[in-house]
A = this chain, B = another copy of it.
Amino acid sequence: MNSYQHVPRHLLAIDCIIFGFDGEDLKGLFVKRKIEPQKDNWSLMGGFIAETESVDAAAERVLFELTGLTDVYMEQLHCYGELDRDTHSRVISIAYFALIQIASYKDEVLKEHNASWISLKELPELIFDHSQMVEDAKERLKQKVANHPIGFELLPDKFTLRQLQTLYEAIYEIPLDKRNFTRKIFSLDIIRNTGKKEKTTSRKGSFYFVFEEEKYKQLEKDGLKFI
């Protein structure tokens, strides 16, 4: 007996909000859509879910197709299922967001996909409900970062305290006090001073820090209270 007979089937898509940080602004990776409808308009990277892959695997594939990256921090955001969200036909989309290091992203791939990093402060209109997805992802990122150390996923391996603070300010969209921020981060015991200095942005130079992997994983599991 097949109790699932006569059940309607649906088109199921993935859309991917890809966050990056250039040392100043929080950015998203967007593509100029290559297919109808809405060809040539700005869009999130997306794709359809295949028959033989899990939903998570589909999201990883979509991300890989655009970035060539694997082992990236990625999280399911929400399933968007309004009837008319895609103007062409009924498509239900599951949105994921990913955090990547902009530096790890290869420029040649950008052109190949008509892709660009765009500051989230000057976001153009996106197709369908993609603007809503980005808003939701920003909000979720804020929430998450307040309780998990995932912000670090956006930084290069070595980074200065100032870069770290700027990142948090970009995510929260509020300025933070330099001294209080430094104290807070040190109290988490999650970064280590390499003793080496970055000398391009100031005369004095600022120390490069790296993550303590073990402590990081611990905090990712247990949670923390950042703000």
- Residues on A lying within 8 angstroms of B by beta carbon are 1-4, 7-12, 35-37, 48-56, 58, 76, 78-83, 88-92, 94
Classify the secondary structure of A's interface with B.
Answer: loop
Copies in the assembly, this chain: 2
Q: Are A53 and B83 also in contact (CB < 8 A) when A3-B36, A35-B3 are?
A: yes
CA distance A49 to B92 in the complex (A): 11
CB distance from A113 to the nearest CB of B (A): 16
Q: Is the CB of A11 within 8 A of B9?
A: yes
CB distance from A204 to the nearest CB of B (A): 39
Q: Is the CB of A92 within 8 A of B35?
A: no
Q: Can you list 7 A-B contacts (CB < 8 A)?
A: A2-B89, A9-B9, A10-B51, A55-B92, A56-B81, A58-B81, A79-B94
| Residue from B12, B48, B54 in contact with A12 in the complex, judged by beta carbons closer than 8 Å | B12
Residues of B within 8 A of A37 (CB): 3
Q: Is the CB of A51 within 8 A of B90?
A: yes
Residues of B within 8 A of A88 (CB): 2-4
